[in-house]
Amino acid sequence: MDKKLFRKADMIIILAVLLIAGVFLLWQYSSGDNLRAVITVDGKIVETLDLDKVTGKKVIVPDTSPKVKIVAEKGSIRFDEAECRDKLCVSRGKLYRKGDTAVCLPSKTVITITGGSVDAMTY
Partner 1 sequence: MQADMKKFILPVCGALILGVVIFAVVFFGGSDVSKDIFAMDTYVNIRVKGRNAQKSADIIETLVNNLDKDVLSRQSKDSYIYQLNSENGGKSAKNMSAYFGMLFEIAQKSNGKFDFTLGALSDLWGFGKNPAVPDKKEIETVLSKCGWEKVTIEHQQISFPEGLKLDLGAAGKGIALDEIKTYLESTKIREAVISLGGSILLYGKRDYTVGIANPENSSTNFAVLTLPASCVSTSGNYERFFEEDGKRYHHILDPETGYPVDNGIVSVTVVSQNGTFSDILSTACFAMGLEDGMALAKEYNCGIVVITEGKKVYVSDDLKDSIEIRDGSYTIVE
Given the rule CB under 8 A, which residues bind partner 1?
2, 6, 10, 40, 42-43, 78, 85-86, 88, 91-97, 99-103, 105, 108, 110-111, 117-123
CB of 43 to partner 1, least distance (A): 4
Query: How many whole angstroms separate alpha carbon 72 and alpha carbon 18?
Result: 39
Query: How many whole angstroms separate alpha carbon 110 and alpha carbon 53?
Result: 21
Query: How many whole angstroms separate alpha carbon 59 and alpha carbon 79?
Result: 10
Comparing CB distances to partner 1, the nearer of 43 and 56 is 43
Residue closest to 116 by CA, chosen among 98, 102, 101: 98
CB of 31 to partner 1, least distance (A): 19
CB of 17 to partner 1, least distance (A): 11
